Structure 1
Amino acid sequence: MKDISFDDLFGDQEIDLECPECNGTFQVEFAIISKDNAEVTCPHCNVTIRMEHDDTTKKTLRDSDRALKDFNKSLNDLERSFKKFK
């Protein structure tokens, strides 16, 4: 069984982002902005925006990653248990 990742769950979801330079709004895939120090370019004014995560965001992403690892382990354990019944 393939492990489920954060990007599998949310990577293609788009989030509205407001440009701090021109205040234009545009959508960015969550997989891009979930990476610390990722850069996106505003399609309205071409300014480069760096996604710098604060401590709360970093902790939330770490906690989510840990929860997904635990979930994947549980799924793998369940799969092994089912195979014993064959």
Structure 2
Amino acid sequence: MTGVSIENVLEAAHIKPVEYRGDDTHHNGLCLRSDIHQLFDSNNLRILPSGELILSETASSENNYANLPSSIELPDFVSREFLDWRIKYY
């Protein structure tokens, strides 16, 4: 999503939180830059099962994250079911 390869700023983000019975497998995770992880966890960034990115109004302002791509190619192992769950229930 951001092209960053500096390992110490990358984090594993749960798609379906453990508190909602999300598991600790690679199917339920995304590797995100730490600030993008915070956007994702606070619902300022939504990722559709198609890979389309949706930013909140605040996050999409010019001084924030307006330069993120409008979609990403998701790895095959990422659960589209969990991404769909997150959009519907979280």
Alignment TM-score, normalising by the size of structure 1: 0.28
Larger helix fraction of residues = 1
Greater RCO (Cα-Cα under 8 Å, separation 6 or more) = 2
